[in-house]
Each structure stands twice: as C-alpha cells, then as structure tokens.
Amino acid sequence: MNLCGCSADNGSASLGPDCTCPYPAPGPGLYLAIATVPMQPWETPYDGQRALKQGTIFPSLDLPFYITGGGGLYG
C-alpha cells in the first residue's frame, strides 16, 4: 500500500482504474518512522494518596503545570 491508499503491485499504483497516486510505496526495509523511548531509571514511587494528588507515581515526572495564553486552540 502506498501513501495514497492504493496498492502497489510491481511498482504500479492500482486500486482501480481511477487510482492515480504520485507517491510510490516504501521499499522493503524502509520505515516511515522509528519511535525511541528513553529508559526511565527506577525510583521510589509516591504513596497512593500523593500519587493521586500529583497525577503521577514517579517524583521525576511530577512537573509544574503552567497555563499560558496564545497559540492554542482556545487561547
């Protein structure tokens, strides 16, 4: 399948007679994206009550939330 949703058989894009897609399908071994997630070191988690209050069980992920205006959907 290529980027238009057409199937690519032997290099030709064809879903039907009306499928004209200028983008070829990625070749074998090519990826559109590769996600990498860094390993998080283990740390002593918050107790249940504090975790619910803070919104996370890990202290290193307990970051401040700042409300700023502009640039958003509603701001």
pLDDT tens digits for 25-72?
677 777 778 888 888 899 999 999 999 999 999 999 999 887 776 665
Residue 5: inside a domain:
yes
Range with the poorest average pLDDT among 3-7, 10-14, 19-23, 60-64: 10-14
Contact 4, 19 (CB under 8 A): yes
Give the residue numbers spanning the domain of 51.
36-66
For the chain, report the end-to-end CA distance as a whole number of angstroms: 39
What is the residue type of 29?
Answer: G
Q: Does the global pTM surpass 0.85? A: no
The strand ranges marked E within the chain are 8-9, 12-13
Side chain identity, residue 52: L
The CA distance from 26 to 30, in Å, is 6
2 in a structural domain = yes
Q: Is 12 domain-assigned?
A: yes
